C-alpha cells in the first residue's frame, strides 16, 4: 500500500512545541509520509521552535501581520490551507489545541472532505468568552474532527457530554510532556549570561508570562502593578518576564515594569532555556495554558492569572492555584507563597497529571489503527 499521508497544520509557538514530538514520531514510521504545513500565525516565536526541533515545513503560508484581527488570521489561514490541502491530498490532517489556525485548519479540511485528527482535544472552561477565542475554537474543532486525541480522562468526559462517540476518542496524555522531557536537564546552562548570573538558590525568582487576549488592557495592568509591588517590597525577589511579541503586551509591560529594579524584561525565550528556567524558578505567575501543564511536573507552584481554567487537573492536585486578575488577590497570594514556607511546600509538589512522555507514539499508533494498517 502507498504510504499514509498525514499533514500536520499549526501556526503558533505552543502548537509547534506540542506538535514537534508528534512530527518526529510520524517521520520515524515507515508506513507514513509526514507533511508539515505552517500558517505562521506567529513568525519569530514559531521559527524559534522549528529551529530547535529541526523541523523544515513543506508549506509556509506566512500569514502573520502586526496587530492581526481574529477574522484576518482565520480567513488568511482558511484560504491558504484550502490550496495546500487540494495540492497535497492528505489522508488526514492533524491540528492542535485551540488557536485560530487550529479551527481554520479543521474547517479547510472539512470543506475538502479530508479527515481531521485533533491533538489535545476536549479541554473546556465552559465559558465561551474565556479563554477567548480559544474555548470556541476548541469546541468548533471538535465538531469538525474524526478522531480526538485527549490528554486526560476529564478531557474525554467533556467530549462525551457533547455527544462525541467514545470510539472516536483516544486518551493519550499531553504531548507537552514528551517535549519537556527532551529539553530539561539539571546541569543546564543558559546562553544568555544574564540568566546564569541570577542566584536561583538564594533569591526567590518569579517567572512571569502574560499574553491572553482577554487580559489585554486593565487585567494586564493589574497583574503588572501587583508584580511591581511584590518586587519593591521583597528584596530577595527577582522577576524574569520574557515578554510576548504582541505590541499591546509589550507597551504595558515596558510601561509598568520597564524601570523596576530586580525585574528582567527579556525577549521571548527559546523553548529549551524557557523550560529549564521553569525548573530553576521559585514560583510561576502566568496566564499561559501550556505552562500550567509543564510547571507541575517540575514541582513548581503556579498562580494562574485568569478567572477560569480548562486545565483543572493540577488545580485539583494542589500545585496550581487560580488567582484571577485583580491586583489585591495576586499580591496577597503571591506574598503568602513568598513568606510562608509551609504554604509554599504544600504547593511545590512534583505531580504530573498530563502523561508519561509517550503521547506522540500513541497518537501515531491510533492513526494507523484508524486506517487499519
Q: Per-residue x/- marks for ligand UD1, 230-259, CB under 6 A?
A: ---------------xxx------------
Q: Return the number of the residue (108 or 305) whose C-beta is nearest ligand UDP.
A: 305
Tell me how far, at minimum, the Cβ of 325 lies from ligand UDP, in Å. Answer: 15
- Gap between the Cα atoms of 232 and 186, Å rounded: 30
Q: Which of 133, 279, 296, 355 binds ligand UD1 (CB under 6 A)?
A: 133
Residues that bind ligand UDP (CB under 6 A): 13-14, 17, 209, 211, 242, 268-269, 271, 274-275, 288-291, 294
Residue 44 binding target from ligand UD1, ligand UDP, none, CB below 5 to 8 Å by type:
ligand UD1
- Gap between the Cα atoms of 348 and 326, Å rounded: 24
| Residue in the shown chain whose Cβ atom is closest to ligand UDP | 288
- Gap between the Cα atoms of 261 and 227, Å rounded: 12
Residue 253 and residue 224 in contact, taking contact as beta carbons nearer than 8 Å: yes
Q: Which of 4, 14, 57, 277 binds ligand UD1 (CB under 6 A)?
A: 14
128 is a site residue for ligand UD1 (CB under 6 A): no
Q: 283-311 b/e with 16+ CB inside 10 Å = b? A: bbbbbbbbbbbbbbbbebbbbbbbbbbbb
Residue 294 and residue 288 in contact, taking contact as beta carbons nearer than 8 Å: no
Residue 55: name the closest of 82, 67, 37 by CA.
Answer: 37
211 is a site residue for ligand UD1 (CB under 6 A): yes
Question: Among positive and negative, which fits the CA dihedral 285, 291, 293, 299?
Answer: negative
280 is a site residue for ligand UD1 (CB under 6 A): no
Q: Which stretch binds ligand UD1 (CB under 6 A): 30-38, 41-49, 83-91, 291-299?
A: 41-49
Residue 190 and residue 276 in contact, taking contact as beta carbons nearer than 8 Å: yes
- Interacting residues toward ligand UD1 by CB under 6 A: 12-14, 41-46, 66-68, 70, 73, 98-100, 133-134, 211, 213, 245-247
Amino acid at each position: 500500500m502507498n504510504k499514509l499521508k498525514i499533514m500536520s497544520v499549526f501556526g503558533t509557538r505552543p502548537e509547534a512545541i506540542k506538535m514537534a514530538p508528534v512530527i518526529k514520531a510520524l517521520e520515524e514510521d515507515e508506513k507514513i509520509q509526514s507533511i508539515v504545513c505552517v500558517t505562521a500565525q506567529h513568525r519569530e516565536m514559531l521559527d524559534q521552535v522549528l529551529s530547535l526541533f529541526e523541523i523544515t515545513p513543506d508549506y509556509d503560508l506566512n500569514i502573520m501581520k502586526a496587530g492581526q484581527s481574529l477574522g484576518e488570521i482565520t480567513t488568511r489561514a482558511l484560504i491558504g490551507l484550502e490550496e495546500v490541502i487540494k495540492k497535497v491530498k492528505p489522508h488526514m490532517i492533524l491540528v492542535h489545541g485551540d488557536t485560530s489556525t487550529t479551527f481554520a485548519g479543521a474547517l479547510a479540511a472539512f470543506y475538502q472532505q479530508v479527515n481531521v485528527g485533533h491533538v489535545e482535544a476536549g479541554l473546556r472552561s465552559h465559558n465561551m468568552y474565556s479563554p477567548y477565542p480559544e474555548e470556541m475554537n476548541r469546541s468548533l474543532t471538535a465538531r469538525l474532527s474524526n478522531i480526538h486525541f485527549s490528554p486526560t480522562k476529564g478531557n474525554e468526559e467533556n467530549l462525551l457530554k457533547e455527544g462525541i462517540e467514545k470510539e472516536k476518542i483516544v486518551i493519550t496524555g499531553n504531548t507537552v510532556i514528551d517535549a519537556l522531557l527532551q529539553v530539561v536537564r539539571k546541569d543546564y546552562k543558559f546562553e544568555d549570561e544574564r540568566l546564569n548570573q541570577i542566584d536561583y538558590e538564594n533569591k526567590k525568582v518569579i517567572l512571569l508570562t502574560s499574553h491572553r487576549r482577554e487580559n489585554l488592557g486593565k487585567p494586564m495592568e493589574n497583574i503588572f502593578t501587583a508584580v511591581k509591588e511584590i518586587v519593591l517590597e521583597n528584596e530577595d525577589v527577582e522577576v524574569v518576564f520574557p515578554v510576548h511579541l504582541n505590541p499591546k503586551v509589550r507597551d504595558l509591560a515596558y510601561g509598568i515594569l520597564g524601570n523596576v529594579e530586580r525585574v528582567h524584561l527579556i525577549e521571548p525565550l527559546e523553548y529549551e532555556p524557557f523550560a529549564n528556567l521553569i525548573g530553576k524558578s521559585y514560583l510561576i505567575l502566568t496566564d499561559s495554558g501550556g505552562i500550567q501543564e509543564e510547571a507541575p511536573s517540575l514541582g513548581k507552584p503556579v498562580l494562574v492569572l485568569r478567572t477560569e481554567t480548562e486545565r483543572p487537573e493540577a488545580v485539583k492536585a494542589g500545585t496550581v492555584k487560580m488567582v484571577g486578575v485583580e491586583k489585591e488577590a495576586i499580591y496577597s497570594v503571591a506574598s503568602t507563597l513568598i513568606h510562608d514556607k509551609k504554604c509554599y511546600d504544600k504547593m511545590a509538589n512534583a505531580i504530573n497529571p498530563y502523561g508519561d512522555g509517550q503521547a506522540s507514539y500513541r497518537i501515531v499508533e491510533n492513526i494507523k489503527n484508524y486506517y487499519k494498517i
